[in-house]
């Protein structure tokens, strides 16, 4: 992610399929989702490529640092204050929980999930994000096709 270009000034996508609010979600999603088949070597390989929300935020911190070096602090802060941060995450966490044998109660799981999400959003605020579009979790088990 190092080295900004004019294209990255217009927008950067940090999304990673299979990721969740919790770090463990991406590690377990492909194992849980068998779709009627046994896991294949290719699904195990893809599982290692899921980038957690925490790591995505660290990647944004790298970009923020590059912006500061390129623009200076004041211009970077102004730029980020006008930027939109769209986040659609959480369904993989809930899907994984409901398909696990976790002894954690639903209430405890959801409390932990919300607290972790809140902390991730605070991290983004601390890095200069100001405008958010938070997409709610769709009905679980009803993916669009």
Number of domains comprising the chain: 1
pLDDT number for residue 37: 45
In a domain, residue 140? The reply is no
In a domain, residue 1? The reply is no
In a domain, residue 122? The reply is yes
In a domain, residue 145? The reply is no
Q: What is the pLDDT of residues 116-138, one digit of tens each?
A: 999 999 999 999 999 999 998 87
Answer yes or no: are the C-beta atoms of 80 and 92 closer than 8 Å. Answer: no
123 phi and psi, to 5 degrees?
A: -60, -45
pLDDT number for residue 26: 77
In a domain, residue 142? The reply is no
Answer yes or no: are the C-beta atoms of 63 and 8 closer than 8 Å. Answer: yes
Give me the torsion for CA of 73, 75, 135, 112, rounded to 10°. 10
d(CA 120, CA 57): 8
In a domain, residue 141? The reply is no
Question: Which residue, among 85, 29, 32, has the nearest Cα to 52 in the 3D structure?
Answer: 29
Q: Give the pLDDT mean for 28-56.
A: 61
In a domain, residue 67? The reply is yes
Give me the torsion for CA of 52, 128, 117, 26, rounded to 10°. -10
In a domain, residue 128? The reply is yes
Other beta carbons less than 10 A from residue 56's beta carbon: 19
Has this prediction a pTM greater than 0.75? Answer: yes
Res. 36: pLDDT tops 70: no
Other beta carbons less than 10 A from residue 115's beta carbon: 11
pLDDT number for residue 102: 87
d(CA 119, CA 145): 32
Print the domain residue range for 72.
6-135
Answer yes or no: are the C-beta atoms of 141 and 95 closer than 8 Å. Answer: yes
d(CA 102, CA 70): 47
């Amino acid at each position: 992610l190092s080295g900004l270009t004019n294209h990255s000034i217009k927008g950067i996508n940090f999304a990673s399929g299979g990721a969740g609010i919790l770090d463990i979600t991406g590690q377990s999603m492909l194992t849980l989702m068998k779709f009627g088949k046994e896991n294949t070597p290719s699904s195990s390989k893809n599982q290692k490529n899921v980038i957690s929300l925490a790591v995505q935020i660290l990647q944004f911190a790298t970009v923020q640092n590059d912006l500061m070096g390129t623009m200076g602090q004041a211009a970077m802060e102004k730029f980020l204050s006008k930027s939109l941060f769209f986040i659609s995450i959480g369904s993989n966490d809930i899907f994984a929980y409901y398909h696990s044998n976790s002894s954690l109660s639903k209430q405890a799981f959801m409390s932990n999930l919300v607290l972790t999400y809140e902390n991730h959003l605070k991290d983004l605020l601390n890095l200069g994000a100001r405008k958010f579009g938070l997409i709610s979790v769709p009905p679980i088990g009803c993916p669009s096709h």
